[in-house]
Structure 1
Amino acid sequence: MDGLDRLVHAVAPTGSVELQCHFAGDWTLDHPSTPPNHLPYHIILAGHAELELDGKTSALVPGDVLLFPYGDAHILRSTTAGIDGQRPMLENRRRPHGRVTLIEHGGDGPALDMLCGAFQLSGATDALWTGLPKVLHVRTEHRDALLGLIQVLRDEAARPLPGGGTVVESVTGAMFTLILRSMTASGQLQLGILGMLAHPKMALVVDAVLKDPAHAWTLQSMAEVAHTSRASFARHFSEISGMTPMDWVNGVRLGVAAQSLRAGRLSAGRAAELAGYASEAAFARAFKTRYGTPPAAYGRLHAAR
């Protein structure tokens, strides 16, 4: 496993495909914000559209994949929507279509075919899922692996074949990883967790800490992993991640502990060990500061859901 493997394993994404959109003519589709750790995605299978996010517009073409890391509200619309000053809305004709709900809107002009779904992050997101832009926009024209997965997802969504649910879960999981890989490989992201993975020296540290979060990490030991001086490491780490190295390590430890408590796998004492705390009392104080409730109560609360 490398740093990206460990990141994906730690945030534990579960993907679903929910809608297929067949739109023609003028249309506008508002997407409200979603709860924390619920990440919508859109895949443009055919046709063109526009994305509006924070007042900025981006052109969408066939093969584009959009992932919203923090579930921010956004607008999708046809390329001609609003030219006449009107705001066209969808007629919202819905019907079951295989494993998804098909939404249709007729009209003159180019047609759009789009798949929509979401990822649920159920793992240790604290200090891991940070520093990302509001949308990850991947163009797949030269990414054969991602294009292949999209075709499989499209086929499985259209037909309720035996075992299709497992296929969708596996394909969306691989798609999630390939989206993150493409963003780090392209160098588009210089900040946050993906920025650290894109930086060879920082990627070594991410991998080492995620491999053994309970290790007695210090600024010096992380600098040695990065093969750099302590001062240089601390400066570059903070510039890329937006936090100090030790704040990041503590956030990772508490996130991993919270994940285990939610899953009901560990006692509070064992979670403290996993988080690298010699004292259960110190762990309980740090945990309550971050999550607002003691570890044992947090575990019981989530076990009851």
Structure 2
Amino acid sequence: MDGLDRLVNAMAPTGNAELQCRFAGEWVLEHPRSAPNHLPYHVILEGAAELEVDDQIIALRKGDVLLFPYGDAHIMRSVASAGERRLPSGPETRRFNGQVTLVERAGEGEALDMLCGEFALSGATDALWTGLPKLLHLRTANGDALLSLVRLLRDETSQPQAGGEAVVRMITGAMFALILRGMASDGRWQLGILGLLAHPRLAGVVDAVLKNPAHAWTLQSLADVAHTSRASFARHFSEIAGVTPMEWVNGVRLAVAAQSLRAGKLSAGRAAELAGYASEAAFARAFKARYGSSPGAYGRLHAKG
């Protein structure tokens, strides 16, 4: 198990597929901001489209996978060649096929075939899911494991079979890990958690802290994991993560504690131990400063079942 494994396990994503959109002609699709910890994704199965996010226009093509780490609002629309005029799409029809809702708009020109869904993260992932851009845009190619999963997901959603919901859940969970792997390995994202995972020395630090957040970490012990000097480690880590190493460690510890409280099975004292706090009072102060309530109140509010 490495840092990416531990990161995905800590965030505990659950995925689903909600819509399959088949649009032709001239069309616009507005996606509102998602609820906290809900990350919408789109997969372009066939055709092309344009994405507008933060006044930027991005051309999309077959095989593109889009993930919005913070659920930002965005607009997708049809693409027309220069000077081309298309008639608007016809009326929208919707039908549930037993697995996803098929949304169709007939019209002129090449049709877009797009699968849409979302990933839901467990709460209190703020220290883990940090420093990312508003959009992760990955272009897949033949032979990519992610593209193979996308095709399997398309087949499962277009022809529902027994156990399909469980299969889709497992496919989308693997998709989430592959998206992060692809973004961390392609060299484009040098900041935030993906930047740490992409760094040859700092990835081991992420792995070590997530493996044992309760350990008595110090700046020197973290630098030792990275096999570099303390000053060099602190500088590089802060430049990439946007916070100091110990600020990040403390954030991870509190996130671990918050998740254990959300599970509803641990006392505040035991959660403090898991987070590496020797003093329950110190833990309570730090927890309230980050999450706005005492550990006990937070656990009662968010406890499952």
Q: TM-score, normalised by structure 1?
A: 0.96
Quickly say closer, same or farther: Cα 1:240–1:87, change in 2 above 3 A. farther
User: Bigger CA drift: 223-232 or 122-131?
Assistant: 122-131
Structure 1: unaligned runs, 5 residues or longer: none
Q: Evaluate the alpha carbon distance shift between residue 220 and residue 92 of structure 1 in structure 2; reply closer, same or farther with a 3 A threshold.
A: same
> Which residue in the other structure is 1:154 paired with?
154
Aligned twin of 1:63: 63
Could you tell me how far apart the structure 1 residues matched to 2:202 and 2:304 are? 39
CA contact (8 A) 1:16 1:169 kept: yes
| Aligned residue number for residue 243 of structure 1 | 243
Q: Is 1:30 matched up with 2:38?
A: no
1:31 and 1:81 mapped to 2: Cα distance? Answer: 24
Alignment match, 2:280: 280
| 1:27–1:90 CA contact under 8 A, matched in 2 | no
Could you tell me which residue of structure 2 aligns to residue 233 of structure 1? 233
Partner of 1:21: 21
The CA distance in 1 between the partners of 2:239 and 2:73, in whole Å, is 28
The corresponding residue for 2:73 is: 73
Give 3-state SS (helix, strand or coil) of 1:160's partner.
coil
In structure 2, distance between residues paired with 1:219 and 1:87: 62
State the Cα deviation string for residues 94-129 of structure 1 (Å, max 9, x = none): 111230011111111110100000000015412110
Q: Which residue type is aligned with residue 178 of structure 2?
A: L
CA displacement, residues 77-107 of structure 1 (integer Å, 9 cap, x when unaligned): 0002997899968833211123001111111
SS in 2 for 1:250: helix
Q: 2: CA distance between counterparts of 1:136 and 1:276?
A: 33
Q: Find the aligned partners of 1:53 and 1:164 in 2 and give their Cα distance.
A: 33
Q: Residue type matched to 1:269 in 2? A: G
User: Does the 8 A contact of 1:63 with 1:140 survive in 2?
Assistant: yes
Q: Distance in 2 between matches of 1:90 and 1:186?
A: 40
CA contact (8 A) 2:87 2:107 kept: no
- 1:204 matched residue in structure 2: 204
Residue 104 (str. 1) matches residue 104 (str. 2): yes
SS for the counterpart of 1:235 is helix
The number of aligned residues is 305
- How far residue 165 of structure 1 moved from its aligned partner, in angstroms, is 1.0
Q: 1:179 to 1:87 in 2, by over 3 A?
A: farther
1:115 aligned residue: 115
Q: Deviation of residue 168 (structure 1)?
A: 0.6
Does structure 2 retain, via aligned residues, the 8 Å contact 1:287–1:294?
yes
**Alignment match, 1:93:** 93
Aligned 8 A contact 2:263 2:304 in 1:
no
Q: Distance in 2 between matches of 1:84 and 1:286?
A: 59
Over 3 Å counting, the alpha-carbon distance change for 1:181 and 1:211 in structure 2 is same
